[in-house]
Structure 1
Amino acid sequence: MISIEDRYFSLSRILLLVVGLWPYQKSKLARLQFICFFSILIIFIIFQFTTFITSKCTANFVIKVLALVFVCICIIIKYYSFFINSESIRYLMEQLQRIYDDLEDSNEIAIIEKYGRNAKCYTAILTTFIVCSVCMFTGALIWPDILQIISSTNKSRPRQLQILTEYFIDQERYFYYLLLHTNTAICIGLVSLVATGTMLIAYFQYMCAMFTIASYRIENAIKTQISQDIIKHNKNLMYESIKNAVDIHRKAMALSINLVSKIEISVFFLIIFGVMTLSTNIFRIFQIGLSTRNADELSISIIVGFISLLYMFIANLVGQEITDHYNYIYVAAYKIQWYIAPLNIQKLLLILIQRGNKTFGLNIGGLFVASMQCFAALANTSLSYFTVMYSIRQ
């Protein structure tokens, strides 16, 4: 028996183990790891909010703080949501393994392996991107200090973090401890973001594979080249093939709905804070670019803004793929020579075609359906908020 966990989820498993979120790892050490990492993220946000106590809260200052606070809130929501839904994630993995084991047709196995490889490619590419982002992010934080070390001048400049925080201690004296905490929080946050995101992408890729298998079974239920006599002789086999197609199609829908229902609330808040993250960081990019030449702050805002936009795009792209693959079975039902099939099979195909009028997608609370249209709407909303903030500044 081939394990899809070892074959297609190996990199996701490593990433989730690093941040203590692997659903099969429930030891006391893993729970302690989760508590430690979650506490680091929470403390990091708290000490960003404490800057409002010791600083003058102008509009620009508030936006500067919130531009990073919002993305940290998104990470914490995703991190905690994945932890509390670990049982559902494990159940889904077991269901996918069971469906994979039930496949006997070599073409169907090839279909599901193709989408498994797509999932691995998504994971590898996004992991590489996040590693580069971590290096750039931490580099932007320590670059001023590096310049001071290699500079020929003996005059020392006060050291401060590029991310606004208030620990109520001497930041100059404890600079490297604070830098360690900041870099640790960033690494944990970005790794957990890509680990949970790629795991969900992999799951939905398997849903797409199941929809494609359903379409394949429909298309092969009736062969255009065979004669009427052979169809009558094999009508029971045809009926079973179509029934199996409908069965795996319904399973894919049920698993998709089940997964979305578990993370629906967290995704709703992710959408809200994701839009605000993108808006505030676009504002920061324009603000820094027009008023100062602080390359470190500018690079941080560009990285955060690009990550939020990319995450929003990929989430909606996956949702669009689910909707498109869901419709494939109805396209297949239209294309086959249904009119030469026995009457009972024609009735079954007619029901399938009629059901094709109902759309299906990853619906979030009845307000958002993951699709490219939704991505365009969210991006447009982010730009609208940016326009409002920029006009108020003016």
Structure 2
Amino acid sequence: MNNMLDSSHYRPTRWALIMMGQWPFEPPGKNRFFKCLTIFLIISMCLPTMTKFAMSVTDIDIVMECIPILCVYAAAFIKFFTWVIDDDMKGLLLSIERDWKNLKVPEHIELLAEFAERGRKINNFYATLIFGLLGLFLAMPAIPILMDVWIPLNQSRSRIFLYQTEYFVDQNEYYFLILIHAYITIPVVFVAIVYFDNLFSIFINHTCGMCNVLRLHLECVHIAGSFSDNATSEKRIQICADMQTNILQFVQRLESIYTIPFLLLVGMNMTVITSTGMMIVIKGAEISELIRFASFNVGTIFHLFWSSWQGHALIVESEAVYLSVYQSKWYTLSPKLQRMLLPLMMRSAKPCQISAGKFYVMSMESFGAAMRMTMSFFTLLLSMR
């Protein structure tokens, strides 16, 4: 598409989604191929871990070690199939394109571009952090190999497996083949998680940008010629109402798509934080294992923080629209125009928000509550062990 969706603001996410067959503007045959390839790679790594989990249900330590990686696989599938099943990504992206085209005032275009660029920088930081922690996680098997070179012993050190798997072969004999398989498939899982998170961030930052454009419109609604030389005050208020309607519809579509996936993801994040915390306590004496599970734990906490922070930003920016109505100097307008502003005030009184299952609002307050609950679960499990 020759439009804003091809710009640098969205390019990294667009290319990642293309490689997973999820960019809706690519040929269907190409998308089907890459979708099948992505699903095959994730399943090929998921099955050995599920098999090990099923065969070791009586060994609590192995079970606790399997839970985090299984939750990661589940998170990747949830994010991936959310768009396969719902198939509303194209509509949301076209809405973004429509909003860019509808803006005519340079200041408004610059404001929306500022939020798009902010989203790009934040997404790059998020991807860099998660893939950095992933690199630390993947580097753990190299430690005993390097130690054998630098500080050799009379016998080889024990090999480190990234996580528990069952291939029904001698895993020491096929260690490097198993490791190569993990190195090929694990990044695919994390690419699915990170770039679908980045897509969510694009939607949120665009909505925040449009809220700020709406605020700018409202604050200037009493100024003649603020939209166009011939626009009447009534026409200017109508433009604000249409823009608010588009924003609310966009958020409602996002909410309908993400509410159930977020419910599952928040629960899995809390489960992973608890289980990796347990593994840090269990294997804390082994430095390599401590680093491995600590990096996993930090990444999971940041993942939950990231989703909550995006939702919080949406709440803050949409709340500011309500205040902008008062800053529009409505009292200088005629009674008829004041009555036209009432629906905008009423609709902006309740901030836009994204929830998990309609009862857990994605916000920093909810993040704090989730972390407190997670620590309670962790303390309970630790006392029972």
Q: Same fold (TM over 0.5)?
A: yes
- What's 2:193 paired with? 193
Deviation at 1:39, TM superposition (A): 2.4
- What's 2:134 paired with? 134
Deviation at 1:101, TM superposition (A): 0.8
1:106 aligns with 2:111: no
- What's 1:242 paired with? 237
Alignment of 1:1-394 (within 5 A): 3-52=4-53, 54-55=55-56, 57-85=58-86, 87-153=87-153, 155-223=155-223, 237-289=232-284, 293-393=285-385
What amino acid is the match of 1:272?
G
Asked if the contact 1:214/1:246 (under 8 Å) is kept, the reply is: no
Deviation at 1:131, TM superposition (A): 3.0
Deviation at 1:208, TM superposition (A): 0.7
**Within 2, Cα distance between the matches of 1:386 and 1:368?**
21
Q: Secondary structure at the match of 2:119?
A: helix
**What does the per-residue CA deviation read over 1:36-78, in whole Å, with 9 as the maximum and x for residues that have no partner?**
3222322322212322455472333321221322222222221
Q: Is 146-155 or 301-310 further displaced after alignment?
A: 146-155
Query: 1:56 and 1:11, CA in 2 relative to 1: closer, same or farther beyond 3 A?
Result: closer
Deviation at 1:107, TM superposition (A): 1.2
Query: 1:299 and 1:80, CA in 2 relative to 1: closer, same or farther beyond 3 A?
Result: farther
Asked if the contact 1:71/1:304 (under 8 Å) is kept, the reply is: no
**Within 1, Cα distance between the matches of 2:102 and 2:231?**
20
Deviation at 1:251, TM superposition (A): 0.7
Deviation at 1:235, TM superposition (A): 11
Asked if the contact 2:222/2:233 (under 8 Å) is kept, the reply is: yes
- Could you list the runs of 5+ residues in structure 2 that have no partner in the other structure? none
- Could you list the runs of 5+ residues in structure 1 that have no partner in the other structure? none
**Within 2, Cα distance between the matches of 1:354 and 1:157?**
68
Asked if the contact 1:158/1:172 (under 8 Å) is kept, the reply is: no
How many positions carry a matched residue from both structures? 382
**Within 1, Cα distance between the matches of 2:325 and 2:31?**
48
Deviation at 1:2, TM superposition (A): 5.0
**What does the per-residue CA deviation read over 1:183-216, in whole Å, with 9 as the maximum and x for residues that have no partner?**
2222111111111111110111001111111111
Deviation at 1:132, TM superposition (A): 1.6
Asked if the contact 1:235/1:342 (under 8 Å) is kept, the reply is: no
Query: 1:53 and 1:206, CA in 2 relative to 1: closer, same or farther beyond 3 A?
Result: closer
Query: 1:160 and 1:319, CA in 2 relative to 1: closer, same or farther beyond 3 A?
Result: closer
**Within 1, Cα distance between the matches of 2:159 and 2:343?**
70
Query: 1:219 and 1:62, CA in 2 relative to 1: closer, same or farther beyond 3 A?
Result: same
Deviation at 1:169, TM superposition (A): 0.6
Deviation at 1:104, TM superposition (A): 0.6
Q: Secondary structure at the match of 2:358?
A: coil
Q: Is 280-289 or 143-152 further displaced after alignment?
A: 143-152
**Within 2, Cα distance between the matches of 1:387 and 1:46?**
31
Query: 1:171 and 1:216, CA in 2 relative to 1: closer, same or farther beyond 3 A?
Result: same
What amino acid is the match of 1:203?
F
Q: Secondary structure at the match of 1:116?
A: helix
**Within 2, Cα distance between the matches of 1:96 and 1:81?**
19
TM-score, with normalisation over the residues of structure 2? 0.91
**Within 2, Cα distance between the matches of 1:158 and 1:336?**
70
Q: Is 137-146 or 182-191 further displaced after alignment?
A: 137-146
Asked if the contact 1:162/1:296 (under 8 Å) is kept, the reply is: no
Asked if the contact 1:285/1:301 (under 8 Å) is kept, the reply is: yes
TM-score, with normalisation over the residues of structure 1? 0.89
Q: Secondary structure at the match of 2:48?
A: helix
Asked if the contact 1:88/1:259 (under 8 Å) is kept, the reply is: no
What amino acid is the match of 1:324?
V
Query: 1:244 and 1:144, CA in 2 relative to 1: closer, same or farther beyond 3 A?
Result: same
Identity between Structure 1 and Structure 2 (%): 20
What amino acid is the match of 1:315?
S
Deviation at 1:312, TM superposition (A): 1.0
What amino acid is the match of 2:235?
E
**Within 2, Cα distance between the matches of 1:125 and 1:154?**
44
**Within 2, Cα distance between the matches of 1:31 and 1:133?**
31
Q: Secondary structure at the match of 1:50?
A: helix
Q: Secondary structure at the match of 1:7?
A: coil
Query: 1:53 and 1:201, CA in 2 relative to 1: closer, same or farther beyond 3 A?
Result: closer
